[in-house]
Amino acid sequence: MSSTYRQICYHLVFCPKHRSPVINPRAEHELFNYIGRVIINQKGVLYAINGMTDHLHILTDLHPSVSLSHLVKEIKVSSSLWMKRSGLFPLFSGWQDGYAAFTVSERAKEIVRCYIVNQKSHHHKESYEAEYRRLLFEHNIQFNEKFLF
């Protein structure tokens, strides 16, 4: 009998439309719990989720039967509908089309998890723009500055 072994871990980053600061800090835990349930429904594992009013970071395991683009679409579509219906995020109009996804090794998983958990204190030292550029550079991802923000 053969088995399939895998470890598919991603660090995801995405923003509301126009990078607007519309994620209500007083209701973010409800949002994080909702997104966690979406990930579980897609056979994934949520290791960490956190962010600021203008962006989110997620560390998740991706089940091999689910594509990355499908998972991100499910997270964005489901959470967008929930956020609008909940009334907790009155200025939220939707998520931006794009996202960043970085693979994370088992060795680096705890480091990335801690980085995400500590987002609030991290952003006292580094802006979102600087953080995003740094993550792209660290992962050797080519980008066009014109389309970055």
CA 107 to each of CA 11, 13, 68: distance values in angstroms, whole numbers, following the listed order = 14, 20, 21
- Specify the 3-state DSSP secondary structure of 147: helix
Q: What is the pLDDT, as a whole number, of residue 147?
A: 73
The tokens describing 131, both together, are 């953080």
Domains assigned to the chain: 9-123 (3.30.70.1290)
Q: What is the pLDDT, as a whole number, of residue 47?
A: 98
State the virtual CA torsion across 19, 20, 24, 25 in degrees, nearest 10. Answer: 50
Each residue's pLDDT, cut to its tens digit, for the chain (149 residues) gives 677 788 899 999 999 999 999 999 999 999 999 999 999 999 999 999 999 999 999 999 999 999 999 999 999 999 999 999 999 999 999 999 999 999 999 999 999 999 999 999 988 889 888 998 999 999 999 888 777 76
- Put residue 42 in one of left, alpha, beta given phi > 0 → left and psi -120 to 50 → alpha: alpha
